[in-house]
């Protein structure tokens, strides 16, 4: 089973949102008040750098990235 990290892309969001574990769905809803698709889309759009962990070069299993703490200051 090959595992790679690739630049995150909006195409990954659909698969991740539809295959998110129920516990993770509940955590997203409780912490940001959004569903999985919207939360992932919002996070990706706010990120200055983001990546997706892939299995077998085709199946996204996680997405992570970096967002500015202060949008005005860029830090």
- Name the pTM for this structure: 0.84
User: Would residue 30 count as lying in a domain?
Assistant: yes
User: Would residue 60 count as lying in a domain?
Assistant: yes
* Rounded Cα–Cα distance for residues 75 and 15 (Å): 31
User: Would residue 72 count as lying in a domain?
Assistant: no
- For residue 39, pLDDT over 90 is answered with yes
User: Would residue 20 count as lying in a domain?
Assistant: yes
9 token code pair: 């892309």
User: Would residue 7 count as lying in a domain?
Assistant: yes
Number of domains, the chain: 1
| 37 vs 1: which has the higher pLDDT | 37
User: Would residue 41 count as lying in a domain?
Assistant: yes
Banded pLDDT at 9 (limits 50, 70, 90): very high
User: Would residue 75 count as lying in a domain?
Assistant: no
User: Would residue 71 count as lying in a domain?
Assistant: no
At 47-75, the pLDDT tens digits run 999 999 999 878 999 999 998 877 676 65
Average pLDDT over residues 31-50: 94
Mean pLDDT over each residue of the chain, to the nearest integer:
91
Domain that holds residue 40: 3-66
Give the pLDDT of residue 58: 83
SS3 letters across the chain: CCEEEEECCHHHHHHHHHCCCHHHHHHHHHHHCCCHHHHHHHHHHHCCEEEEEEECCCEEEEEEEECCCCCCCCC
């Amino acid at each position: 089973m090959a595992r790679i990290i690739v630049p995150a892309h909006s195409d990954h969001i659909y698969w991740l949102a539809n295959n998110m574990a129920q516990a993770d769905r509940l955590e997203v809803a409780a912490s940001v008040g959004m569903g999985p698709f919207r939360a992932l889309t919002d996070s990706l759009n706010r990120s200055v750098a983001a990546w997706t962990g892939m299995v077998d070069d085709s199946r996204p299993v996680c997405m992570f990235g970096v967002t500015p703490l202060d949008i005005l200051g860029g830090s």
